[in-house]
Structure 1
Amino acid sequence: MHMNSAPHLLTEDRAEYERILDDALRNAHDRPDLAAVGQRLNAEQLRTMALNATALITTAAAAEYEHYIKIREEMRAPTSVASVHNSVLAPAAGEAAERGAGFGAVIAVLAPVLAGTAALIFLLVGYILKMLSPTPAFAETMVAAGWFFGALTAAAILAAAIGLLITALRNGATQLPAEEMTGELPDEVARAKDAWRHAVLERGLLPFLRAALADPSADPKSAAPPRHVSRIPKVGYSGPDYSSPSEGSTAGQRPTFTSPDFTSPDFGGPEHQPE
């Protein structure tokens, strides 16, 4: 028993099939064999009929579609393997990077805050002490300490800004542009896709549309193909092959019978009477 079934059209390829159909209907008047579009059946009715008969139409390009999805899956396989590999190695490297990044972030945030707070306190206390009479001896020390922490605050803020700039530049260098992430298909996949599109159009859609336009009984809401469609290959199961017994074998043959030979008696005249 042999199976000649076409591969099922995947969900991700249904939109592409609809684009092929829409392009064919949009350019129908450029083809003399489809010039009758809009007379008895309009483009929307033909589109409904072709969508209802998607499985039948795409069967005409079964070989090209099978090759296309095979090449596409092979091209996707290395990306999947790399993703799994990265997902296995990412936790260990990510934990170390996270610890380092977390410590740096804490320092970058706390250093300016703490230094600025200390500078404010020392300057405020130092200038208040300098207003007293007599001025305490350590008032100048408090003011100097305040200015020191003020300078430290400015340096911490500058360091944090530089760190943020370096992080932004590093992330920008490792991030893929949008056009690269959604770029064109590899050449082999693109060729397989074009071959499938051409086969669907030339061997599936166009014969279907021509048959629908030529069949006066075609129903736009029916999923049944037009009666004149005859180029769609047969899909299904072929019956087992049965062979008749060989000529030299006697088993299973019907016995043959011959009728007995009867002879009529000899009749004659008196001269032929038995003695």
Structure 2
Amino acid sequence: MAGPLWLRDEDRPDYAQAVDEVIRSPEAQQLIRRSTLKIGQVRVRALDAGPRIASTAAAEYDSYTTLRRQTRDGADRSERVPLSGGREQEAGAGVLPVLAVLTPVLAGVAAVTFLVLGYGLSLVDGELALAGALIQVGWFSLGLGALTAVVAFIGLYRTAARNRHSMSDGPAPVPAEVLQAREAWLRALRDRGVLPFLRDQLEESAPGVEPGGHPEVRRRPRFSSPEFSSPDFAGPDFSSPKSRSDE
């Protein structure tokens, strides 16, 4: 068997789902009933051994992830707009949005400045021609700022409508070949990885069977304390000497 295979984060829920499907299968349920393990314990063991189990379907997983990556790369390239010179840029980015925002602001500032100077000079005697010119430039700048503000508002509205439409469409559908590769990986994972692993774990934890067909009763060894009977001991003779002579 090959070395451990570490799944990507986005594929780990699929692995957990494959484990649950095998646990719910009739064969696994029958083994669980004869085993001393519970369903939660079996599931934890299968999840902990994920890299080792996933390596049994390494070829199918590699084909699936390669095809999925190629599909995503193609979708990313289709969302880019080619510019002159062979370069690519994402749609919506560029200098025009920046100008649409800055032009009304700059035009408004210029209009206020020219109008203040022009009307200020017209209040004093002399330089009436210069004051009139400043006032004309100020009104022109004010009109230009209003026009660019309307254009910028229309552009922002269209961009928001386009983004809202794209969000309502939802994510792009997954191609059929990617779905087939995913199903082939999950099937190989269940048949060659998860099911044999659970079968080994449950059979090892099942109680043994005697030759007569009856379950083997595992008896705990009985504990008996050692005998501490004291040896024969006779106390000292305290009889008088006369008594001993009479004997």
Q: TM-score range by the shorter chain?
A: 0.5 to 0.7
Aligned with residue 33 of structure 1, among 4, 16, 28: 28
What does residue range 96-111 of structure 1 map to in structure 2 within 5 Å? 98=95, 107-111=103-107
Indicate conservation of the 8 Å contact 1:20/1:201, yes or no. no
Are residues 1:50 and 2:46 paired?
A: yes
For residues 74 and 152 of structure 1, do their structure 2 counterparts lie closer, same or farther at Cα, with a shift above 3 Å needed?
A: closer
SS class of match (1:33): helix
CA shift, 1:114, in A, is 1.2
Higher mean C-alpha displacement, 174-183 vs 186-195: 174-183
Are residues 1:187 and 2:176 paired?
A: yes
For each residue in 1:169-197, what CA deviation from the matched residue of structure 2 results, as whole angstroms up to 9, or x when unmatched?
A: 56554899457785342110111102211
What do you get for the CA RMSD once the two structures are aligned? Answer: 4.9
Alignment partner, residue 195 of structure 2: 206
- Tell me the distance in 1 between the aligned counterparts of 2:61 and 2:88: 40
Indicate conservation of the 8 Å contact 2:100/2:149, yes or no. no
Aligned with residue 120 of structure 1, among 116, 125, 137: 116
Percent sequence identity over aligned pairs: 22
- Tell me the distance in 2 between the aligned counterparts of 1:176 and 1:62: 40
CA shift, 1:200, in A, is 1.6
What does residue range 116-265 of structure 1 map to in structure 2 within 5 Å? 116-126=112-122, 128-129=123-124, 142=131, 146=135, 148=136, 151-169=139-157, 171-172=159-160, 173=162, 177=166, 182-216=171-205
Flag the structure with more relative contact order, 1 or 2, with Cα contacts below 8 A and sequence separation at least 6: 1
- Tell me the distance in 2 between the aligned counterparts of 1:178 and 1:104: 25
Task: Tell me which amino acid in the other structure corresponds to 2:44.
Answer: T
SS class of match (2:68): helix
What TM-score, normalized by structure 2, do the two folds share?
Answer: 0.55
Q: For structure 2, which runs of at least 5 residues remain unmatched after alignment?
A: 208-247
- Tell me the distance in 1 between the aligned counterparts of 2:168 and 2:55: 34
What TM-score, normalized by structure 1, do the two folds share?
Answer: 0.51
Indicate conservation of the 8 Å contact 2:37/2:205, yes or no. no
- Tell me the distance in 1 between the aligned counterparts of 2:127 and 2:81: 64
